[in-house]
Structure 1
Amino acid sequence: MGRWRSAPRGACPRTTRGPMEDLVGALGLALTALVLFNTRYMNAALTQLRADGFDVRDEDIARLSPFVRHHVNMLGRYSFQLPDLPGGLRALRDKNAANDE
Structure 2
Amino acid sequence: MSEAYERERQNNARLDDLASKVTSLRDVTVNIYDSARDHEIIDDSNEVFANFTTGLKQSAGRITRMAATGSKGQTIKLAGMIVGGVIVLYLLWGIFF
- Alignment TM-score > 0.5, same fold: no
Length-normalised TM-score, structure 1: 0.41
Q: Using CA pairs below 8 Å that are at least 6 residues apart, which structure has the higher relative contact order?
A: 1
Structure holding more helix per residue: 2
